Each structure stands twice: as structure tokens, then as C-alpha cells.
Amino acid sequence: MLKRLSKDIKKLNTKKKTTIKDIANVLNISAAAVSKALHDDSRISKKTKKAVKQVAKNLNYQPNHLASALRKGKSNLVGVIVPRTNSNFFSSVIQNIEEVLNKEGYNIIITQSNESFKKECDSIDTLLFTQVDGIIASMANETIDLEYYEKVKAKGIPLILFDRGENDLNVDYIGINDYDSSHIIVKHLVNQGCKRIAHIGGYKRTRIFNNRIRGYIDALKKHNLPLDKELLIESSLTIEDGRNKMAQLLKLQNRPDAVYIASDYAALGALQLLNEQNIKVPEEIALVGFGDEPFTAMVTPSLSSINQHSAEIGKQAALTFLSYTKKKSIKQTLNKIILDAELVVRESSNSIQ
């Protein structure tokens, strides 16, 4: 009796969130009925449903997501791990993932690894701790050890990789055809009359960059151009490093007449150096970047680049995750979606204007 009283007092003091129980009390029905009514269960009469929804609105009822998640064993949360968010590619991918998943009642948790392996492992732990229903990730440059991702797989949580991540994990992957992209670029440059085409590529250990390098090498061969090792450089692909590696190329006795750079950011650094040194682009040296970041259209001269279809990658990644939620058994299979990339030709590689 006393207990009940203190409880009632408590109810008066604290603006408690309304629960289905509160609704049930008002209508003198069971909480179960309320739950069912809110979910349009066929076993509840239209009249009751209407009443329940009305009261829910009046009391400003907000379902307790934690409770239903606990009961149902799923959180409706999807974790997204990206190397960084401040590139247009990743933020666009994220935006599209969010758009698709929100419609299906999922929310996303974004974490950035900042290209750090350790931070990436922490992110995975964090996401698992938060009981996400799935993880969509693009790996950090540093990541070679896949143990943490195996952990996710072992838990039976759907894992989808995009862009960075094609590897031996045997999980779904969405990305563009990096090997072909290199072919398209080299062919374009050859058509422009270039004969000494350099490549400032990413780290070979990262599969996508390795594919671009392989594509570059094979494309040279295809066009009967010799492979000059001085013209093939590994880079971290930041703006600064693009600048540095371009400086390295300029020091060569026999300079390249074109440079294909595996990232727009590095290409921007390279372009700035060329501009400063009054080296004419594309006349003296043609330039092609990768990623089609918005600024490529805005710099002078504008940068040719590869459109990675970030929106489509995001959508496909989300849809791939959703396909698992509809299956009964979660058996991860290697399911690669490889999109064709598209070369956007701009001033930096277009001499026939």
C-alpha cells in the first residue's frame, strides 16, 4: 500500500515517458493488446486500433526502442566504418546508405577509422557492443590483419565491404572495376598523344590500389608502351604526398608527359606544384585523377577524373545488407558487385579543345 502510494507520487513528480502500459490503463485493455494495435495486428478490432492510436498520440507516446530491440534480438542499427568522412566519396556513400536504410526502419552509426588499424578495431568492438545488426565498412589503408573482421563474421553479423576491402574475407563487396579504370585512363591518355605515362598509385597492399597498378601496367603493355619503373610510384595519396611525388617525377631527366594519379587529393597537390612551376597542363604534362571529387571541376585547369559512382555504391551496400535481413539463415557468401567506372574528361588531359 505504501509502496503503491510512493509510486503514484513518483508518477506525479517525474514527467515519465509514456509506455504501452499507460495507454493500456487509459483504455482498460492489456498492454499486449496495445502493442498489437500499434503494429496493426489482424487480431485487434479496428475500433480498438483507432482508440489506441489516438491515445498514443495524445500521450505523446514514443516507443522504447531499447525494449523492443532487446525482445526482438535486433537493434535496427547498422554500423558504418569509413577511413574518414571528409571526402566527398565517403560522405556520399554514407548518405545513400542512410537513405535506403532509413526507409526500412534502420538507423546507422558512423565511425571513422582515420586510416588507423587500431581505431578500426576499436570501431568494430564499439559496434558489436552496440549490438548492430550489420556492418558496412571500407577498410583503412593500414589494415592487413583481418582477424577483427573475422570476428564479425563469426558472430553471424552481416558484413558488407565497399571500395577498400576486396580481399580474402569472403564477404560481400561493392566497388568499381579498378583494373578496367586504369585501362580506360591509359587508353585516353594514349589517344591524347601521350607516350610517357606515369602512375602515382596507392599502397600495393591495398587491393584496389594494386588493381589500379596492375591495370596500368597491363594497359601500357597493350599499347606497346615500355614500363619505366621510375614512372610508377607508391604514395599515401594525400594532397601533400601528391605534391611530393610529383616533385620526384619532375626531377627525372626524362619527364613523363602524363601522370595518372590514383586519388583526386593527390592529383590536386600535383596540379598545384605544376601550376607554381608554370608547367602547362595538359600541354606539357597531362593529369588524370581518381574519384571525381567536386573540386576537380573547380580547379584550374579542371581535373579529369574517374567517377566512382558513390551513390550507387552506397545504395547497393545498403540493399545487400537488407537482403540478409530478409533471409532466414545468414550464410555469408562471396558476392561481388563491381560497377563500371566512368572517365570524366576535363581540361587537365584534354589537348584537343
Binding site for DNA (CB under 7 A): 16-17, 19-21, 28-33, 35-36, 38-39, 43-45, 47-48, 61, 63-64, 67-68, 70-73
Q: Report, in angstroms and rounded to the nearest whole number, the Rg of the chain calculated over CA atoms.
A: 27
In 3-state terms, what secondary structure has residue 281?
A: coil
Contact partner, 36, from a second copy, DNA, none, Cβ < 5-8 Å per class: DNA
Rounded to an integer, what distance in angstroms lies between the CA atom of residue 243 and that of residue 277? 12
Instruction: Kindly state whether residue 317 participates in binding a second copy, applying the rule CB under 8 A.
Output: no
Query: In 159-169, which positions are buried (b, 16+ CB within 10 angstroms) versus exposed (e)?
Result: bbbbbbbbbeb
Write out the three cell numbers for 61.
Answer: 507516446
CA dihedral of 145, 174, 185, 225, whole degrees rounded to 10: 50
Amino acid at 37: A
Residue with smaller CB distance to DNA, 227 or 330: 330
Amino acid at 117: F
Question: Using the rule CB under 8 A, which residue among 19, 87, 116, 350 binds a second copy?
Answer: 87
Instruction: Kindly state whether residue 94 participates in binding a second copy, applying the rule CB under 8 A.
Output: yes
Instruction: Kindly state whether residue 38 participates in binding a second copy, applying the rule CB under 8 A.
Output: no
Residue with smaller CB distance to DNA, 48 or 87: 48
Window 285-304: residues binding a second copy (CB under 8 A): 294-295, 298-300
Residue with smaller CB distance to DNA, 85 or 325: 325
Residue with cell 587491393: 207
Contact partner, 191, from DNA, a second copy, none, Cβ < 5-8 Å per class: none
Binding mask 122-161 for a second copy (x = CB under 8 A): x---x-xxxx-----------------------xx-----
Binding segment toward a second copy, per CB under 8 A, in 50-58, 69-77, 167-175, 330-338: 69-77
Nearest to 252 by CA among 196, 304, 182, 189: 196
Residue 71: CB minimum distance to DNA, A:
3
Phi, psi of 330, deg, nearest 5: -95, 95
Q: Where are the beta strands (DSSP E) in the chain?
A: 77-82, 107-112, 134-137, 159-162, 172-176, 197-201, 232-234, 258-261, 286-288, 305-307, 336-339, 342-344
Helix (H) or strand (E) holding 270: helix 264-276
Instruction: Kindly state whether residue 283 participates in binding a second copy, applying the rule CB under 8 A.
Output: no
Residue with smaller CB distance to DNA, 129 or 251: 129
Task: Enumerate binding residues for a second copy (CB under 8 A).
Answer: 15, 17, 62-67, 69-70, 75, 77, 84-88, 90-92, 94-95, 98, 102, 107-112, 114, 122, 126, 128-131, 155-156, 239-240, 243, 268-269, 272, 275-276, 294-295, 298-300
